[in-house]
Amino acid sequence: MPLFLEEPELDADEIQGHILIGFGAAEQALAAFTGTDLRALGRVIGTWAQQGRITSTRRLMRRKGRPARDVVAASGPWVSVAVSRRLLAACGLPVEFDDPWFASARGMAGVTSLRDTRPADGSPLGSDWLVGGPAAPVDALVVVAAGTAGAARDVVSILESDVGDAAPPPFVEPLLPIKGNLEHFGFRDGVSQPAVLGTVDGKPFQGDRPADGDDVRQVLVGQDLLWPDEFVYGYPGQTSDPAEAGPDPRPQDEATRAVARNGSLLVYRRLAQDVPAFRAFCAARSAAIGLGQGWEELATHFVGRHRSGVPIALPADEAFTPERDNRFTFEDDAMADVCPAAAHIRKVNPRQGASDVLVVPRILRRGAPFGPLFDDDETIEPPGGRGLVFLAYQTSVENQFGRLTRDWMNDDIAPNGSGGHDMLVGQVGPGSSRHFDLRLGERDQRITAGHDERWVTTTGGAFLFAPSLSTLRALARDDDEGQG
């Protein structure tokens, strides 16, 4: 009996390309607009969609399996757009997405369970952010990829001119890939991404389908094969049985469901990384527990992979091989003898190692680094700092991104039953400390870090909606034409 009898056809002409494929390692520019005339800002975005300037999944399919920077340089810029809930409402579109985090009146700064840091003077959370704070929410987030960051910035300048008085000058930031797909702490990023079940023109969108009797949960290079409503509205969702389609599509409100179809909710977080402080902490704690000299050994335990992306269970000098280094589970390491239970890769994806987790919340990550590489000789932090622009698509901010952050990374028990906090990005409240347990031979060690000993700090962000091309085009309609 063939698997996936109900495998859906994905609308590649409607879904924005950045959601399902991403812009890869191409140089990019990000622009965040705060609307003063939300209706006019919506019209500009809608006009760009009508003119074919927003990139569809079909257009981006040509880059699958090819270096993004080469394809975009030859084909012209790629553009994605996500908008705020209040912009949708101002344009007359329904906004009942059944997601309290997306509907938060103060946006990301209103979700205190993320435990982002409050300004030292006691001002409201997010008031010191560079982008997206309560006083200047992000109403349109545009990501442009091009042959160079300068060329991407030029596209942003054209949009900025078209927006005119509808918004003040946007917050603009170049996103520059680091050779080897690294992030600023020095580790390979984007190693483990899920694959999307579905077809385009009758052919599988990603990978070959498993034969009967094979593991239907993984395809390609160990990617979990998931039903598309995890990431794009209007399709079957995920259940504990990977071969079985989930419940009817969301949201519950019929009008909102029509507008949401082929769209996705986007989490944008600007995460500053304090590289020297991270390395100093790891070096000091590593020496204290006899793990070794330098910072890399303990950092590797925090991540769960060597800097190359090879899992910690394998020697560090092994070359990264996706077929091996992403196709594994933690079933044989239930006691966390090899990979610590609180290692980042184990916190965000227990890989069948946590018996009480039936459906692991997954997201499609499309982030990229900002700022220059750390130089051992630098004496001051570069203007704007350095870090990671975290971008992730899903259909429930609270139940996917929220569960991974609030319930797992910020928790010292979930999802693996013990082990401590995610020391990379997990956060705790004032007066609390994080801890991390690891086993060194016959010795159990606990690493602790106070509330102020954090190396990743949120300096901006927003919860947004990345609409379908049809919904984007609807933003350009005149008021008397009606919406939806």
Answer whether residue 237 is part of any domain.
no
Tokens of 225: 């094969």
Answer whether residue 244 is part of any domain.
no
Answer whether residue 384 is part of any domain.
yes
pLDDT score for 2: 40
429 and 472 in a common domain: no
Answer whether residue 287 is part of any domain.
yes
328 and 369 in a common domain: yes
394 and 337 in a common domain: yes
Alpha-carbon torsion 211, 213, 219, 224, what sign?
positive
The CA distances from residue 364 to 76, 138, 267, 385, 395, in Å, are 24, 21, 10, 25, 10
Q: Which of 324, 351, 129 is nearest to 221 (CA)?
A: 324
307 and 456 in a common domain: yes
155 and 113 in a common domain: yes
pLDDT score for 102: 98
147 and 279 in a common domain: no
Q: Which of 98, 87, 3, 17 is nearest to 52 (CA)?
A: 17
pLDDT score for 220: 60
The CA distances from residue 73 to 76, 80, 147, 222, 368, in Å, are 6, 17, 4, 30, 18
290 and 158 in a common domain: no
Answer whether residue 357 is part of any domain.
yes
Tokens of 212: 């009967």
Range of the domain at 433: 270-460
294 and 151 in a common domain: no
Query: How many whole angstroms separate alpha carbon 336 and alpha carbon 454?
Result: 24
142 and 98 in a common domain: yes
Answer whether residue 247 is part of any domain.
no
Answer whether residue 233 is part of any domain.
no
What is residue 72's three-state secondary structure? Answer: helix
297 and 166 in a common domain: no
Query: How many whole angstroms separate alpha carbon 61 and alpha carbon 56?
Result: 9
pLDDT score for 482: 47
Q: Which of 398, 22, 322, 28 is nearest to 196 (CA)?
A: 22
Tokens of 446: 């606990």
385 and 278 in a common domain: yes
Give the rounded distance of the alpha carbon of 463 from its chain centre.
Answer: 12
pLDDT score for 484: 44
Q: Which residues of 301-333 are buried (b: 16+ CB within 10 A; e: fewer)?
A: bbbbbbbbbbbbebeeeeebeeeebbebebeeb
307 and 445 in a common domain: yes
Q: Which of 463, 467, 468 is nearest to 100 (CA)?
A: 463
pLDDT score for 137: 97
Answer whether residue 255 is part of any domain.
no
Q: Would you write out the chain's pLDDT as a tens digit for each of its 484 residues?
A: 345 557 899 999 999 999 999 999 999 999 999 999 999 999 999 999 999 999 999 999 988 878 898 999 998 899 999 999 999 999 999 999 999 999 999 999 999 999 999 898 989 999 999 999 999 999 999 999 999 999 999 999 999 999 999 999 999 999 999 999 999 999 999 888 898 999 999 999 987 776 655 555 666 666 788 899 999 999 998 877 777 777 777 899 999 999 999 999 999 999 999 999 999 999 999 999 999 889 999 999 999 999 999 999 899 888 998 878 888 888 889 899 999 999 999 999 998 766 566 678 999 999 999 999 999 999 888 999 999 999 999 999 999 999 999 999 999 999 999 999 999 999 998 889 999 999 988 889 999 999 889 999 999 999 999 999 999 999 998 755 544 4
Overall number of domains in the chain = 2
The CA distances from residue 395 to 108, 126, 231, 256, 361, in Å, are 16, 24, 5, 13, 11
